[in-house]
Structure 1
Amino acid sequence: PPVEGDFPTTLPYSNLWAHTVNTNGNYEITLNNTWGVIDSKLAVYLDGELTEVLATNFTAGNKGSAKNTVLASKYPSNKDLKFVYRVTYVRDEKTNDKVVVYYKSTTGTIEVATPDGGVKYCKYPEWSPEIEYGSPTNKIVFYQGFHFKHTGWATKGDSPKLNGDWSPWTKLSVAEESSIACPGNHLMDSAGTKPNAHLEPMNISEVEGLGSPMEKMHITYTPEWGKWGGRKYTPKITPWNKISHMQYAFVDVIPDYTGKFFTDKDDISHLTQSARDAVNGAGSLNVSPNVFDPGAAFSAYGGTNAFMTEYNEMCKKYPYVKPIASLGGWSRSAFFRDAAQPNKIDHFVKRCIDFIREFNFAGVDIDWEFPCSRRDADLVDNKNDLGTPRAADDEEVLFTNLMKALRGALDKAGQEDGKYYFLSCAIVSGKTHIQKSGIGVWHPTCDFISYMTYDVHGAFDPISNHQSYLFQNTSEPLAETNPQDNAMSIKDLIDYVTKTYGVPANKLTVGAPFYSRGWSGIFMPSSGWPTNMPGLYVRTTIDPSASETKGCSAPGTMDGGRGAGVLPLHHLNKLIKGENVSVRTLDMNGPANPHAGTILKGSDFQYYYDEAAQAPYLYNQTAGIFYTFEDERSVETKCQWIVDNNLAGLISWDIAMDDYGIDMHSSEATSAYPTLYQAEHLLTSVIFDKFKANSLRLNYLNKIARR
């Protein structure tokens, strides 16, 4: 029998969807993105009435998805059948504030009511004097006890009239009013306790505090340094209603001299001192993740910790978006090998657990770049870069031990806290690294594994190429462009990892860059050109100060001291539209942009799309400048491939470089900051449209139709 209080007796409100398929005599009901829930059950409704409550089953090895299977013959075929998941999220750990969300199966209509399934509301809203209704639409509104239909041109303040005077609104007849079946008496709800029973039907893309209808994951990073320089990007600008996981970039991994939560990320004195100590082998340092102060007041333009405070605020408003603490990153991976040593690993893991509990993270992402890969610090590009100067092949074992220790500690903490903490990692997509990473051993510890399928090629290579590509172009001269057999297309990467190491495809995400990489000195050769696409696979003129294995960088508005041709999507789109882009030094406190002062003229660039690789690029043949990037077409194709091949989803770097409609160097980037909250992001919106539940449903139905 149904458990009292778990579900309402009649079908609850839901504009969110689970996915139900009738196959082989069974109903299969699936709900993705359930990480961190504290409670979940499945109910069956026949003709709108509660019939049965079932325990929720989770997919093996992955509590991020719920899946139930029931016999189709168990329920009468002549009744309206709906399955409903009831999920409880914690909005605020400290106050134990919770939100209950219902996810209905994809069949049938969606009723209008409150999110908790209790009070019924009329689906038509009150007339508002702040809305420009404009041309007649027959839209129905409620005003002074009656419903009116929009039948004439209405400007702001044009209200319905009750005295017979002409108005753009026509009062509904008694019969029409009766057909609406508005609950209550318009002044009280059906329970007789709450004034105003008129609400707009909820739209999940606009409502805070409800669940995400995405069936695949879109995991993105929000970079803490995005608030600096000309961008002024902070979490409130992010469209949280269109992502599933938000990774905080980055939590430093540093030696811990005090054992206390006090160190600020922007104070690098401990890092530089630790780097000297580590090189000299001085002392036996404990290693812990760095910690931020969440109590600092939010300021739009300043305050070292303002970013973290705002991040916490948005996490509470969107409890279905999973906040992830990403540890390490490109410039902060030097001390992972210390953290994973046998005499330090317990201390480090405990600090990680303390950290995610303190700041209400849903899990940990290890961004060790990269185990077994030695790299000197690049102080030209970033004076605070630590590199990985002590990396060695023993890090395959160290990394494996670290992932196992974290998985065990997270499971134990989850049992104690009544929730599920998850573990992920972001790793490079090169074959050599994959072979050294030990993925065949540690992949069961992860809820998902993110392959950074961007920066595959760049000005660190001597030949122009795509930085992220879905398929291998057979025209590519691999002996020259990929002499170490390390770069792979996304398809080849997934085939290699799944077939060689047995990693399930539904545990893997692949990457999309929201920025470019670029070369200069790309001039068409008179002969020996391997493809009919201008500028692609062309050897750059060699930088006199570099070796023959490196190309020349193109100008980039996001470049530091070492040029890389990094343009955010907004600037790339300006070039595509024929507009100009001025290259400046973005962060006045950082290294000078080597191309500062350059004016890129959009009229000089031609857009190309490589159909074989499914990747776009821009090429200025006269100046020899080449940019490789991701656009709407390529990311949509990539998302569809992810859906068709049952991958977990997509990871993007980074949300601050998606096109949110402003020039980062203009006055808009500062003066208009408050108006940019929840701004539209071009590629994020494309990903959301491909991954949201009803899109996947249509894909499934189209496949069935083609069969």
Structure 2
Amino acid sequence: DSRLAVYLDGQLSEILDTNYIAANRGSAKNVVSTSKFPSNKDLKFVYKVTYTRDEKTNDKVTVYYKSTTGKIEIATPDGGVKYCNHPEWNPEIEYGSATGKVVFYQGFHFRHSGWASKGDSPKTNGDWSPWTMLSAAEEAAINCPGNHMMDSAGTAPNAHLEPMDLAQVKGLGTPMEKMHITYTPEWGKWGGRKYTPKISPWNKISHMQYAFVDVIPDYTGNFFTDKDDISHLTKSAADAPNGTSLNISPNIFDPGAAFSAYGGTNPFMTEYNEMCRQYPYVKPIASLGGWSRSAFFRDAAQPGKIDYFVQRCIDFIREYNMVGIDIDWEFPCSRRDADLIDNKNDLGTPRAQDDEEFLFTNLMQALRKALDKAGEEDGKYYFLSCAIVSGKTHILKSGIGVWHPTCDFISYMTYDVHGAFDPMTNHQSYLFQNPSEPLAETNPYENALSINDLIKFVTTTYGVPVNKITVGSPFYSRGWSGIFKPASGWVNPSTPGLYARTNITPGTNGTKGCSAPGTMDGGQGAGVLPLHHLNKLIKGENVSVRTLDMNGPANPHAGTTLVGTDFGYYYDEAAQAPYLYNEKAGIFYTFEDERSVEVKSQWVIDNNLAGIISWDIAMDDYGIDMHSSAATSAYPTLNQADHLLTSVIFDKFKANSLRLNYLNRLARR
């Protein structure tokens, strides 16, 4: 249904079929010889391109492009609004000696009555011109609604195109052959940070997952919209009996700040919905649960309760215009007490049991069935995915061999594999196993896997199709303190600080312990720096550590200044992972940079994986210190910015022309 319309002096001349339609984002390309058209006519083109978000969905998107002097602009149908049949006078057109053409100029219509060169405008003061003003009776007969455009474009009267505000449709860029799925965290707007969806590079990602949607008891039967009602946070998960009589429902975490209607200074959900509308090719997906909101998954999946929860999930994505659900149950069968030092609203998973392998399987199967049914009713395809930990111990209990067919993609969180919860330094995300790693000390239970070993394990053991797996890329660091050269020397002299044991006891009850200072830490401390701060250290600049959220837990390292000139940058060639080490202060940071993410992206391509999932878009480096007073004051005018690692992934995953030509030949068969 894609067409190219040719206009001469604003009048429709002919309609051509488009001869090129791109693979998965939709574009059109025609080579049209201009010599076939009269040289004294103004020549313009309008593309009408119809395509879908995804091969599986029937959700069609139609976009109009208007070509003016070689520049492609976006246009939109008039939506039923009647436009004047006569265009505005155009100073770039030489109307010549032709007569009879009517144009609109400064509130009146004029008929061309003599030679008119470029810039020869109609006159309204009675002076002679190549134009004659229409009489009052003629003006009345036109019944002009007052809407005009430079080119009258359309296939019939009153079917013109009007210029589209670029805020209406964006993201019409190069197709991506692989997925880059990322999260936009609602709490990115809190405290000293002012990151909301309008800042993200939506033209360089494929899926934007809303993090996170609560999985909580449904006390009201409605989605939470009262900013003063925090009953869903104050109820204790530890106090709830197994198979609680309460129904469980998805809900927005912080509605008071998420919706502009409730007075939030940073209307997060409002911006999210607006950006989804502007970029219809990015799939908006609701991520349910997360680290602090997974306690009630086991209740939601109980017999007799699961149907209610699943229907509420369907209601939720319909309500908020999502195209799918991502289950972030962290983690089935894994018991964890709430960490109230780091997050006073953390629910933990204090009632987790081994039966959750089956509950998780039942939940995924019920969601898949319900999403398919809803898709049939709504005429579109709804996606289902999950994000799961990459540790081998968890995988053995996950039941993935049964439920993986329900998923469109499975995201292994191949980050946080190591951190200050371990006694020895290591990489938190690494592509290959370094043969120098002393595994008996660093990985005594064989739980940690390199990405390469992980993919081999799940595909050969459980038959998970490799082309539905995404692997993780962290846009942040984890770090240790108390790392000094041992008497026996470094494990490998070329990688000082790596695989070294801390001389500090891990922290308890809010003490900082062996964690490195992190600008995004609270309570326990974890050595979390966003990429922008890591790059400042690499450049030799200092980073000041402070408590960002004044209503949250105090940063145990607040007041620390990290001296950039004291840090050295190192790259582990065997593992394909970078790190920073300050030998003077004994501080070690493991993170991801342009080099490692480019290698990881190429490995994904070479091994036919689905793509990469990143955590999270707000911690990518977009050239602004989002924790500074400058960022806070700049927020109202701060809009889309380029993001460093996102751009690296996009450059690797975007479709190349040879591949597109092949895909399009297949599409035309």
Shorter chain as normaliser: what TM range?
Answer: 0.7 to 0.9
Partner of 1:413: 374
Deviation digits for residues 118-158 of structure 1 (CA, Å, limit 9, x no counterpart) = x66431589xxxxxxxxxxxxxxx97348xxxxxxxxxxxx
Following superposition, the deviation at residue 309 of structure 1 comes to 1.2
Partner of 1:571: 533
Following superposition, the deviation at residue 10 of structure 1 comes to 2.3
2:421 is aligned with what amino acid? F
Residue in structure 1 matching 2:553, options 588, 591, 600: 591
Deviation digits for residues 13-46 of structure 1 (CA, Å, limit 9, x no counterpart) = 87x732xxxxxxxxxxxx4x79xxxxxxx99999
For the pair 1:226 / 2:188, whether they are aligned, the reply is yes
1:411 aligned counterpart, secondary structure: helix
Partner of 1:17: 22
- C-alpha contact (below 8 Å) 1:509/1:647 kept by paired residues: yes
Residue in structure 2 matching 1:515, options 467, 476, 495: 476
For the pair 1:618 / 2:580, whether they are aligned, the reply is yes
Question: Equivalents in 2 of 1:47, 1:340: separation in Å?
Answer: 59
Residue in structure 2 matching 1:144, options 92, 111, 116: 92
For the pair 1:441 / 2:441, whether they are aligned, the reply is no
Residue in structure 2 matching 1:608, options 570, 577, 583: 570
- C-alpha contact (below 8 Å) 1:230/1:670 kept by paired residues: yes
- Kindly report which structure 2 residues correspond to 1:47-196, keeping only aligned pairs within 5 A, or say none: 86-88=50-52, 99-100=61-62, 114-115=64-65, 121-124=68-71, 144-145=92-93, 188=151
For the pair 1:678 / 2:653, whether they are aligned, the reply is no
Question: Equivalents in 1 of 2:301, 2:153: separation in Å?
Answer: 60
Partner of 1:628: 590
2:525 aligned counterpart, secondary structure: coil
1:122 is aligned with what amino acid? T
Deviation digits for residues 84-124 of structure 1 (CA, Å, limit 9, x no counterpart) = 9941469xxxxx997325xxxxxxxxxxxx43xxx664315
Residue in structure 1 matching 2:357, options 364, 386, 396: 396
Following superposition, the deviation at residue 673 of structure 1 comes to 1.3
Residue in structure 1 matching 2:436, options 475, 478, 483: 475
**Normalising by the residue count of structure 2, what TM-score does the alignment of the two structures yield?**
0.77
Following superposition, the deviation at residue 308 of structure 1 comes to 0.9
Question: Equivalents in 1 of 2:506, 2:61: separation in Å?
Answer: 61
**Structure 1 residues 517 and 214, CA, compared in 2 at 3 Å: closer, same or farther?**
same
For the pair 1:429 / 2:393, whether they are aligned, the reply is no
**Structure 1 residues 546 and 672, CA, compared in 2 at 3 Å: closer, same or farther?**
closer
Following superposition, the deviation at residue 661 of structure 1 comes to 1.4
Following superposition, the deviation at residue 391 of structure 1 comes to 0.6
- C-alpha contact (below 8 Å) 1:574/1:602 kept by paired residues: yes
Unaligned runs of 5+ in 2: 5-14, 34-47, 74-89, 95-116, 120-148, 664-669
**Structure 1 residues 696 and 407, CA, compared in 2 at 3 Å: closer, same or farther?**
farther
**Structure 1 residues 675 and 268, CA, compared in 2 at 3 Å: closer, same or farther?**
same
- C-alpha contact (below 8 Å) 2:517/2:527 kept by paired residues: yes
Following superposition, the deviation at residue 343 of structure 1 comes to 1.4
Following superposition, the deviation at residue 214 of structure 1 comes to 1.0
- C-alpha contact (below 8 Å) 1:476/1:531 kept by paired residues: no
Following superposition, the deviation at residue 259 of structure 1 comes to 1.5
Following superposition, the deviation at residue 660 of structure 1 comes to 1.4
Residue in structure 2 matching 1:648, options 610, 617, 641: 610
Deviation digits for residues 398-441 of structure 1 (CA, Å, limit 9, x no counterpart) = 00000000000000000000000010000000001111000000
**Structure 1 residues 44 and 211, CA, compared in 2 at 3 Å: closer, same or farther?**
closer
Question: Equivalents in 2 of 1:452, 1:187: separation in Å?
Answer: 52
Following superposition, the deviation at residue 514 of structure 1 comes to 0.4
1:338 aligned counterpart, secondary structure: helix
**Structure 1 residues 620 and 198, CA, compared in 2 at 3 Å: closer, same or farther?**
same
1:144 is aligned with what amino acid? E
Following superposition, the deviation at residue 691 of structure 1 comes to 0.7
Question: Equivalents in 2 of 1:624, 1:529: separation in Å?
Answer: 13
Partner of 2:314: 353
1:454 aligned counterpart, secondary structure: coil
Partner of 2:523: 561
- C-alpha contact (below 8 Å) 2:213/2:289 kept by paired residues: yes
Deviation digits for residues 441-484 of structure 1 (CA, Å, limit 9, x no counterpart) = 00000000000000000000000000000111110001100001
For the pair 1:288 / 2:249, whether they are aligned, the reply is yes
**Structure 1 residues 349 and 125, CA, compared in 2 at 3 Å: closer, same or farther?**
closer
2:296 is aligned with what amino acid? F
Following superposition, the deviation at residue 539 of structure 1 comes to 0.4
**Structure 1 residues 690 and 591, CA, compared in 2 at 3 Å: closer, same or farther?**
same
1:362 is aligned with what amino acid? V
2:240 aligned counterpart, secondary structure: helix
* Residues paired across the two proteins, number: 565
- C-alpha contact (below 8 Å) 1:556/1:583 kept by paired residues: yes
Deviation digits for residues 171-210 of structure 1 (CA, Å, limit 9, x no counterpart) = xxxxxxxxxxxxxxx953576989999999x99x996163
Question: Equivalents in 2 of 1:437, 1:443: separation in Å?
Answer: 10
For the pair 1:459 / 2:465, whether they are aligned, the reply is no
For the pair 1:691 / 2:653, whether they are aligned, the reply is yes
1:290 aligned counterpart, secondary structure: strand
For the pair 1:214 / 2:176, whether they are aligned, the reply is yes
Question: Equivalents in 2 of 1:643, 1:45: separation in Å?
Answer: 30
Question: Equivalents in 2 of 1:326, 1:124: separation in Å?
Answer: 39
Greater Cα offset, 655-664 or 320-329? 655-664
1:476 aligned counterpart, secondary structure: coil
1:10 is aligned with what amino acid? L
Question: Equivalents in 1 of 2:434, 2:59: separation in Å?
Answer: 52
Identity of aligned residues (%): 76
Partner of 1:310: 271
Question: Equivalents in 1 of 2:268, 2:439: separation in Å?
Answer: 44
- C-alpha contact (below 8 Å) 2:168/2:278 kept by paired residues: no
Question: Equivalents in 1 of 2:440, 2:416: separation in Å?
Answer: 19
Partner of 2:233: 271
Greater Cα offset, 659-668 or 615-624? 659-668
Following superposition, the deviation at residue 260 of structure 1 comes to 1.9
2:247 is aligned with what amino acid? N
Deviation digits for residues 471-509 of structure 1 (CA, Å, limit 9, x no counterpart) = 111100011000010101111111111111111110000
Question: Equivalents in 1 of 2:261, 2:189: separation in Å?
Answer: 9
Question: Equivalents in 1 of 2:658, 2:255: separation in Å?
Answer: 38
Question: Equivalents in 1 of 2:409, 2:173: separation in Å?
Answer: 20
Following superposition, the deviation at residue 689 of structure 1 comes to 0.8
Question: Equivalents in 2 of 1:447, 1:689: separation in Å?
Answer: 24
Question: Equivalents in 1 of 2:552, 2:329: separation in Å?
Answer: 24
Following superposition, the deviation at residue 526 of structure 1 comes to 1.8
Partner of 2:220: 258
Partner of 2:599: 637
Question: Equivalents in 1 of 2:269, 2:415: separation in Å?
Answer: 27
2:600 aligned counterpart, secondary structure: helix
**Normalising by the residue count of structure 1, what TM-score does the alignment of the two structures yield?**
0.73
For the pair 1:505 / 2:466, whether they are aligned, the reply is yes
**Structure 1 residues 283 and 630, CA, compared in 2 at 3 Å: closer, same or farther?**
closer
Unaligned runs of 5+ in 1: 19-30, 35-41, 49-83, 91-95, 102-113, 127-141, 147-160, 164-185, 702-707
2:606 is aligned with what amino acid? D
- C-alpha contact (below 8 Å) 1:378/1:385 kept by paired residues: yes
Question: Equivalents in 1 of 2:340, 2:307: separation in Å?
Answer: 32
